[in-house]
């Protein structure tokens, strides 16, 4: 700081100021490392309570020291308060992190050492006192996720968006599909350089290796080069490694300065990108959610899906406004396998551990079809922990968000209860809206048996005014010797038949591993009576974004049934409807006893729609129509019946299946015929 400053030269004075400021920044960073060392010494027990007396003493001392230098009391006071706040935050964040007792970490990244992912990892963990990183190299983002899931890496670090190139959609999709928590994020400044072998010159270069993204971000520079070919290559670090191996001084690479250092290359030119300000945001992933100590500013990321009708997104966003929650990001993506619907990724201030945030999310479930929390994590971009969600007493406009009322007595379900949501849930399936006044008819064969059979049934459903085609592909049969269904081959037939007649389809899924493959083709996932308490299956469909039809277990009480529904809702999927299909009683005249009183009882207890399946209750064709009428009379939102073009030769449940023209007469008598 003793550089000669000529009083007349404003430029050199400014240079002097820059130099002093650089020194201040360096000292602030150094001060932070001391704070981290203190945190380490304090150990892993409780987050430090602030020692306010010590802080005041320290500030008084600094003010006195400042006066010696002729500095204002106000300046020193506000400056040191900020500095102390920062070190308390750094210490609390350090003590809150799960890997607190370790100095080293394995990090899964896409790419190799020297890639921007590895550099961003170092930036993130260095600032948290963890400097010993080893990388688990993955070829794809999906592999990097897998490495964390199967324990080969402690954490994963993946890019999620770039200021020039935009969102990295593959990573968004993986965050939705895989069960990892976001535990941190960091913005890394990407600085592309032109690298070459030591002694190489720009003019002599004939080939340049570059990652496609990097080439796009440096297109102005690259297109200005003469006699030089751009070779699109893996990633920036691989490009560097490649030219180091080639050992040819006419070959260059676009990568970071650090990658160059790692592979023994020279920086031939810096600042070769079209834009100088180029940032990539990375997220840090772990199998465990982060614990965020009180007082540490935090951000939460969620994914949600809303209904496909006007105002649906506004209704959901109103929850943020009306609870005073600060939304900092909103990104939309089509739902994989369901391109007509959109998913919304949101970041907001606050942590799920904060009671007001937890309450806000609970309210949000009443306005969305699907909600998944990706994680809460300390955020250094934010000033203070959102004093969160002090509810805005004066919402600017429109209907206030309903306050969830408390259930009157403790029950094993909450999200499904009327107390939680007073309005009826409407399950949207194609054109059908289950839960509104108009009765929705679901019909089709018990099991998909052949192309001809399912096409004939689909035609009847369409012609007679049904809304949804059903058909079992995976049949949970009581006897292992009964027909088990055509599996995925049947699903393909059902899917095609639905498509041919413009009908959404519902089919049963019987194992958690099949959920995503079945959800790729079916519009509604059915959970059968025999699986109503298969909790891992319920959780798996709860993570899906397809509506779920939950049939009543044949020996289950209404409350057990609602608790089963709660498993689905608690995982995030709010599009659930219930199907009464008869229960076991002492009566043997019918296959089961249709419990129609369940319909009005459910309507008192839950906001979820209720439909009735008279076919499985009756077990006999002739009883189906009268029971269907009774279901309509008692207020069911829909009816599901089995139909078959040739019931006498059906492979399953023939005796209770309606013939196609019989189905037509039922539709007529219910007033549903087209
Ligand atoms: C079905 O709907 O085909 C079925 C198997 O029903 P449940 O699970 O009610 O027996
Ligand atoms: Mn059946």
- 391-406 pLDDT, tens digit each: 333 333 334 444 544 4
Looking at residue 338, what is its pLDDT?
Answer: 72
- The residue whose C-alpha atom lies closest to atom 9 belonging to ligand 1 is 529
Whether the model clears a pTM of 0.85, i.e. scores above it, the answer is no
Looking at residue 409, what is its pLDDT?
Answer: 53
pLDDT digits (tens, 9 = 90+) for 303-356: 999 988 889 999 999 999 999 999 999 999 887 777 667 899 999 999 999 999
The mean pLDDT value for 126-151 works out to 91
Q: What is the percentage of the chain residues whose pLDDT exceeds 70?
A: 91
Looking at residue 157, what is its pLDDT?
Answer: 97
For the residues of 610-651, what is the DSSP string, one character each? Answer: EEE-HHHHH-SHHHHHHHHHHHHHTT-SEEEEEB-SSGGG-S
Looking at residue 295, what is its pLDDT?
Answer: 74
Supply φ then ψ for residue 410, to 5 degrees. -65, 125
Answer for the pair 578, 609: CB distance below 8 angstroms, yes or no.
Answer: yes
Looking at residue 379, what is its pLDDT?
Answer: 83
Looking at residue 94, what is its pLDDT?
Answer: 67
Exposed/middle/buried for residue 34 (C-beta within 10 Å: 0-12, 13-18, 19+): exposed
| Higher pLDDT among residues 217 and 469, named by residue | 469
Which 3 state secondary structure label does DSSP give 68? helix
Which numbered atom of ligand 1 lies nearest the CA of 447? 3
Which 3 state secondary structure label does DSSP give 164? coil
Looking at residue 100, what is its pLDDT?
Answer: 40
The architecture of the domain spanning 427-473+485-669 is Alpha-Beta Barrel (3.20)
What CATH class is the domain 191-272? Answer: alpha beta
Q: What are the angstrom distances between the C-alpha of 72 and each of 18, 61, 63, 66, 390?
A: 22, 13, 8, 7, 36
- The residue whose C-alpha atom lies closest to atom 10 belonging to ligand 1 is 529
**621 CA to middle of ligand 2, Å?**
12
Q: What are the angstrom distances between the C-alpha of 245 and each of 230, 267, 543?
A: 18, 17, 46
For the residues of 81-143, what is the DSSP string, one character each? Answer: HHHHHHHHHHHHHHHHSTTTT-SEEEEEEEB-TTSHHHHHHHHHHHTTT--EEEEEEESSHHH
Which 3 state secondary structure label does DSSP give 507? strand
Mean pLDDT of the chain: 90
Which distant-in-sequence residues (6+ apart) come within 8 Å of 403 by Cβ?
A: 363
As a whole number of angstroms, the distance between CA 311 and CA 308 comes to 9
Bridge partners for 107 per DSSP: 135, 155
The mean pLDDT value for 262-290 works out to 93
Residue 434 predicted with pLDDT over 90: yes
- The residue whose C-alpha atom lies closest to atom 6 belonging to ligand 1 is 528
Answer for the pair 360, 346: CB distance below 8 angstroms, yes or no.
Answer: no
**548 CA to middle of ligand 1, Å?**
14
Q: 221, 233, 282, 348: which one is catalytic?
A: 282
To test the pocket of ligand 1, the residue of 482, 527, 530 to mutate (highest count of ligand atoms within 8 Å of its CB) is: 530
Tokens for 249?
């001084």
* Ligand that comes closest to the CA of residue 657: 2
Supply φ then ψ for residue 252, to 5 degrees. -120, 175
Which numbered atom of ligand 1 lies nearest the CA of 528? 8
Answer for the pair 378, 183: CB distance below 8 angstroms, yes or no.
Answer: no
**497 CA to middle of ligand 2, Å?**
19
| Higher pLDDT among residues 486 and 57, named by residue | 486
Looking at residue 339, what is its pLDDT?
Answer: 67
Residue 116 predicted with pLDDT over 80: yes
Looking at residue 382, what is its pLDDT?
Answer: 63
Looking at residue 3, what is its pLDDT?
Answer: 53
Residues of CATH 3.20.20.70 domain(s) within the chain? Answer: 427-473+485-669
- Angle at CA of residue 662, ends 661 and 663, nearest 5°: 85
List of long-range contacts for 244-249, beta carbons under 8 Å, 24+ apart: 244/197, 247/197, 248/197, 249/196, 249/197, 249/199, 249/200, 249/204
The model's confidence at residue 290, banded by pLDDT at 50, 70 and 90, is confident
Provide the phi-psi class of 254: left if phi over 0, else alpha when psi is between -120 and 50, else beta.
beta
**616 CA to middle of ligand 2, Å?**
6
pLDDT digits (tens, 9 = 90+) for 604-629: 999 999 999 999 999 999 999 999 99
Looking at residue 48, what is its pLDDT?
Answer: 52
In the sheet that holds 327-335, the strands lie side by side as 327-335, 338-349, 298-305, 370-378
As a whole number of angstroms, the distance between CA 311 and CA 181 comes to 30
Looking at residue 395, what is its pLDDT?
Answer: 35
pLDDT digits (tens, 9 = 90+) for 202-249: 999 999 999 988 898 899 999 999 899 999 988 889 999 999 999 999
Can 125 be counted among the known catalytic residues? Answer: no
As a whole number of angstroms, the distance between CA 126 and CA 179 comes to 26
Which numbered atom of ligand 1 lies nearest the CA of 581? 9
Give whichever of 73-87, 292-306, 390-404, 645-659 has the largest mean pLDDT: 645-659
To test the pocket of ligand 1, the residue of 611, 613, 638, 655 to mutate (highest count of ligand atoms within 8 Å of its CB) is: 613
Look at 107-121, 330-344, 412-426, 640-654 and tell me which has the smallest mean pLDDT: 330-344
Tokens for 483?
């027909």
- The residue whose C-alpha atom lies closest to atom 5 belonging to ligand 1 is 528
Q: What is the percentage of the chain residues whose pLDDT exceeds 90?
A: 74
Q: What are the angstrom distances between the C-alpha of 483 and each of 474, 502, 525, 651?
A: 10, 28, 21, 7
Looking at residue 126, what is its pLDDT?
Answer: 85
* Ligand that comes closest to the CA of residue 581: 1
* Ligand that comes closest to the CA of residue 556: 1
Per-residue burial over 566-597, b if 16 or more Cβ lie within 10 Å, else e, is bbbbbbbbbbbbbbbbbbeeeeeebbbbbbbe
The mean pLDDT value for 256-271 works out to 94
The model's confidence at residue 556, banded by pLDDT at 50, 70 and 90, is very high
Per the listing, tokens 């935090």 go with 298
Surrounding ion ligand 2 within 5 Å at CB are 446, 653
Q: Which letter does DSSP use for residue 126 in this model?
A: H
Which numbered atom of ligand 1 lies nearest the CA of 640? 2
Q: 236, 280, 300, 366: which one is catalytic?
A: 280
Residues of CATH 3.40.190.10 domain(s) within the chain? Answer: 191-272
Answer for the pair 183, 286: CB distance below 8 angstroms, yes or no.
Answer: yes
The model's confidence at residue 99, banded by pLDDT at 50, 70 and 90, is very low
As a whole number of angstroms, the distance between CA 464 and CA 501 comes to 12
**469 CA to middle of ligand 1, Å?**
14
Which distant-in-sequence residues (6+ apart) come within 8 Å of 168 by Cβ?
A: 141, 158, 159, 160, 161, 162
Residue 389 predicted with pLDDT over 50: no
The model's confidence at residue 634, banded by pLDDT at 50, 70 and 90, is very high
| Higher pLDDT among residues 307 and 457, named by residue | 457
Which 3 state secondary structure label does DSSP give 624? helix
Residue 141 predicted with pLDDT over 60: yes
Q: Which letter does DSSP use for residue 420 in this model?
A: T
Which numbered atom of ligand 1 lies nearest the CA of 579? 9
List of long-range contacts for 403-408, beta carbons under 8 Å, 24+ apart: 403/363, 404/359, 404/362, 404/363, 404/366
465 C-beta neighbours (distance < 10 Å), count: 16
Supply φ then ψ for residue 254, to 5 degrees. -100, 120
Which 3 state secondary structure label does DSSP give 364? helix
To test the pocket of ligand 1, the residue of 442, 549, 616, 624 to mutate (highest count of ligand atoms within 8 Å of its CB) is: 616
Looking at residue 43, what is its pLDDT?
Answer: 59
**517 CA to middle of ligand 2, Å?**
22
Which distant-in-sequence residues (6+ apart) come within 8 Å of 555 by Cβ?
A: 583, 584
Q: Which residues line ligand 1 (CB under 6 A)?
A: 446, 472, 528-530, 551, 581, 616
* Ligand that comes closest to the CA of residue 614: 1
Which numbered atom of ligand 1 lies nearest the CA of 526? 2
Residue 554 predicted with pLDDT over 90: yes
* Ligand that comes closest to the CA of residue 592: 1
Q: Which letter does DSSP use for residue 529 in this model?
A: G
229 C-beta neighbours (distance < 10 Å), count: 12
Provide the phi-psi class of 444: left if phi over 0, else alpha when psi is between -120 and 50, else beta.
left
Best CA proximity match to 640, nearest among 653, 567, 572: 653
Can 279 be counted among the known catalytic residues? Answer: no
Residue 472 predicted with pLDDT over 90: yes
Bridge partners for 372 per DSSP: 303
**337 CA to middle of ligand 1, Å?**
26
In terms of residues, how long is the chain? Answer: 674
- The residue whose C-alpha atom lies closest to atom 3 belonging to ligand 1 is 446
Tokens for 435?
């839960």
**616 CA to middle of ligand 1, Å?**
7
Looking at residue 396, what is its pLDDT?
Answer: 37
Task: Compute the CA torsion angle 301, 302, 308, 314 (nearest 10 deg).
Answer: -60
């Amino acid at each position: 700081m003793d550089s000669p400053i000529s009083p007349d030269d404003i430029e050199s004075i400014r240079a002097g100021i820059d130099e002093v400021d650089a020194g201040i920044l360096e000292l602030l960073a150094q001060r932070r490392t001391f704070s981290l060392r203190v945190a380490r010494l304090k150990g892993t027990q409780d987050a430090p309570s602030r020692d306010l007396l010590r802080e005041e003493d320290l500030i008084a001392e600094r003010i006195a020291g400042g006066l010696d230098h002729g500095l204002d009391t106000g300046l020193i006071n506000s400056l040191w308060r900020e500095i102390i706040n920062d070190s308390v935050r750094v210490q609390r964040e350090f003590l809150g992190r799960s890997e607190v007792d370790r100095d080293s970490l394995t990090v899964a990244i896409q790419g190799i050492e020297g890639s921007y992912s590895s550099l961003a990892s170092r930036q993130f963990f260095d600032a948290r006192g963890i400097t010993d990183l080893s990388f688990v190299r993955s070829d794809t983002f999906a592999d990097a996720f897998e490495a964390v899931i199967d324990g080969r890496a402690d954490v994963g670090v993946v890019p999620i968006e770039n200021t020039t190139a935009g969102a990295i959609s593959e990573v968004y999709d993986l965050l939705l599909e895989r069960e990892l928590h976001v535990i941190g994020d960091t913005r890394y400044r990407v600085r592309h350089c032109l690298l070459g072998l030591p002694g190489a010159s720009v003019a002599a270069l004939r080939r340049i290796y570059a990652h496609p993204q990097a080439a796009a971000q440096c297109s102005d520079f690259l297109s200005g080069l003469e006699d030089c070919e751009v070779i699109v290559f893996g990633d920036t670090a691989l490009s560097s490694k490649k030219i180091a191996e080639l050992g040819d001084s006419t070959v260059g690479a676009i990568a970071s300065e650090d990658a160059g250092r790692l592979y023994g290359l020279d920086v031939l030119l810096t600042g070769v990108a079209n834009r100088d300000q180029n940032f990539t945001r990375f997220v840090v992933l772990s199998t465990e959610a982060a614990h965020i100590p009180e007082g540490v500013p935090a951000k939460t990321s969620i994914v949600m899906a809303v209904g496909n009708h006007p105002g649906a997104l506004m209704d959901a966003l109103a929850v943020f406004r009306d609870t005073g929650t600060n939304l900092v990001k909103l990104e939309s993506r089509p739902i994989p396998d369901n391109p007509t619907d959109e998913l919304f990724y949101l970041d907001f201030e606050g942590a799920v551990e904060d009671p007001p945030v937890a309450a806000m999310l609970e309210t949000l479930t009443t306005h969305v079809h699907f909600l998944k929390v990706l994680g809460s994590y300390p955020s250094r971009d934010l000033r203070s922990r959102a004093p969160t969600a002090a509810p805005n007493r004066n919402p600017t406009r429109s209907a206030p968000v309903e306050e969830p009322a408390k259930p009157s007595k403790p029950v094993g379900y909450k999200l499904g209860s009327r107390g939680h949501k007073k309005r009826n849930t409407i399950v949207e399936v194609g054109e059908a809206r289950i839960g509104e006044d108009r009765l929705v008819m679901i019909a089709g064969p018990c099991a998909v048996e052949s192309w001809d059979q399912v096409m004939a049934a689909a035609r009847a459903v369409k012609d007679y005014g049904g809304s949804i085609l059903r058909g079992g592909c995976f049949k949970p049969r009581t006897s292992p010797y009964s027909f088990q269904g055509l599996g995925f081959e049947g699903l393909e037939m059902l899917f095609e038949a639905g498509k041919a007649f413009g009908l959404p389809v519902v089919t049963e899924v019987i194992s958690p591993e099949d959920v995503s493959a079945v959800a790729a083709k079916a519009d509604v996932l059915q959970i059968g009576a025999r699986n109503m308490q298969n909790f891992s299956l319920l959780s798996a469909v709860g993570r899906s974004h397809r509506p779920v039809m939950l049939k009543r277990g044949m020996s289950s009480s209404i409350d057990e049934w609602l608790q089963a529904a709660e498993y689905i809702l608690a995982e995030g999927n709010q599009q659930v409807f219930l199907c009464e299909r008869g229960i076991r009683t002492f009566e043997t005249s019918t296959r089961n006893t249709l419990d129609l009183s369940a319909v009005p009882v459910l309507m008192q207890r839950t906001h979820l729609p209720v439909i009735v399946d008279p076919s499985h209750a009756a077990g006999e064709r002739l009883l189906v129509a009268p029971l269907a009428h009774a279901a309509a009379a008692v207020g069911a939102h829909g009816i599901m019946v089995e139909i078959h073009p040739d019931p006498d030769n059906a492979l399953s449940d023939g005796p209770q299946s309606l013939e196609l023209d019989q189905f037509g007469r039922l539709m007529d008598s219910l007033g549903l015929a087209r």
